[in-house]
Structure 1
């Protein structure tokens, strides 16, 4: 038997009554497990086999496969699931976590960033945009690809324009002297300062350091494009989020 503290990232129907779960284990990263009978009406593991379910999961291993046997669900993020805006933001977080687990072994911080961002929406202490902006900022910082802010990503000189010139290809802010030679997008300086502040903040301090609403939207738009350029992460869930919230 194996026990893990997990959150379900996604599920897929399998055979007549089963599901294949992709879970994020706080200690071991990504796990794939079969949940036998999870789609039956009276299944004891039906709730545990839903995206966003979080708690203590128990598995048995047969060969190289894991099978879910029991779970103590501690959080379903019910309010997040039943609010369209919060749910679309949560879907972005889940998809991004799933993709990033293939490129990192820093499971603890990523797990906490995800849980605290979801919990801030569940409690109503942060809007869906402010929670997602923090998640993006923290992810980029922990992945070691945080953009240059305040110094030019090309020459290293001071960059202090407002709005700032930001280069996806060069990886950060561009100074006045270099801007004519690099493709850039215009970003409010306040958004970059908020990005920097959130990236350094522990997940436990998410509410204290979250960006304001306007800057949060700028951070989400910028960092989703930045991750796509730097890591080739194309998030299907961002399309729906952009249409509704950006």
Structure 2
């Protein structure tokens, strides 16, 4: 079996082996045993590192996929030269590794990861813009896409938009009472339009939008809060990214 995949988690196992979680386009998330890859003499040590994008040759043994060979396609070395980008890339990988079932195709997920890591590594866009776009598109692919097209209470296109974080539903500020005491995130019109764009655009153009500072802050705060609310958990890598000063305002 041959497939292209991105290493999104590594776990040392036994004396010199490593278990790799790999995001592939054909099979979704898979676990691969990499025998002896931690030995200094290993000719494929680079394939057992986080962010390694390779063409993997695998074979199945005792119900487990085992690494036979690998050809490096990209390793995103430049992430290591920017601690903020490295921390955010690690957060992206933790999201990918901890959400969803294994061996279930997730069309677009690998391309989302590769495009986002490339943008981080080459400083192509504001890091906050990359983070918000990744979170929202990741959630959409994972089955948590918010409904941002009209107010869930009155059906209008809100002038003062808000999004209920538990339900993922857009509503007018005036309709907030219809959602009880649950928390809603405010958005500006510009931030709402950007979120709509991110959810439906071609992945090649995921980051091709511009926002003023205040609008970008609103988009980032909403994307992070919605992600944590829907997944019902925190992430150590996100905490580390925040500790570097890269966090968003809390809702």
Do 2:135 and 2:227's aligned partners in 1 also have CA atoms closer than 8 Å? no
Q: How many residues align?
A: 243
Structure 2 unaligned blocks of 5 or more: none
Moved more, 221-230 or 89-98: 221-230
Structure 2 equivalent of residue 42 of structure 1: 41
**Cα contact 1:89–1:129 (8 A) shared by 2:** no
Kindly indicate whether residue 241 of structure 2 is the aligned counterpart of residue 241 of structure 1.
yes
C-alpha separation between the residues in 1 aligned to 2:103 and 2:227?
A: 14
Gaps of 5+ in 1: none
Q: How does 1:39-188 map to 2 (within 5 A)?
A: 39-102=38-101, 105=104, 107-149=106-148, 151-161=150-160, 164-182=161-179, 183=182, 184-188=184-188
Deviates more, 1:117-126 or 1:168-177: 168-177
Deviations 1:168-204 (A, max 9, x none): 1242332244223434333333222211112111111
Do the aligned residues in 1 keep the contact of 2:57 with 2:68 (CA within 8 Å)? yes
Q: Does the CA contact (< 8 Å) of 1:19 and 1:35 recur in 2? A: yes
CA separation in 2, counterparts of 1:102 and 1:211? 35
Q: Which digits, 9 at most, give the CA deviation of each residue in 1:42-67, with x for residues without a partner?
A: 21111000010001011121120111
Any idea what SS the aligned residue of 1:157 has?
Answer: coil
Q: What's the TM-score, normalizing by structure 1?
A: 0.87
Closer, same or farther: CA 23–15 of 1 in aligned 2, 3 Å: same
Q: Helix, strand or coil for the counterpart of 1:108?
A: coil
1:237 deviates by 1.9
**Alpha-carbon distance between aligned partners in 1 of 2:29 and 2:142, rounded to the nearest angstrom:** 16
Rounded Cα–Cα distance in structure 2 between residues aligned with 1:85 and 1:226? 22
SS in 1 for 2:107: helix
By how many angstroms is 1:165 displaced? 2.9
Contact 2:87-2:240 within 8 A present in 1 as well: yes
Q: 1-side partners of 2:155 and 2:136: how far apart?
A: 22
CA distance in 1, matches of 2:195, 2:22: 28
Matched residue of 1:22: which SS? strand
Instruction: Give yes or no for contact 2:186–2:222 (8 Å, CA) kept in 1.
Output: no
Task: Measure how far apart 1:40 and its partner are.
Answer: 1.0
**In angstroms, what is the RMSD of aligned CA positions?**
2.3
Moved over 6 A (4+): none
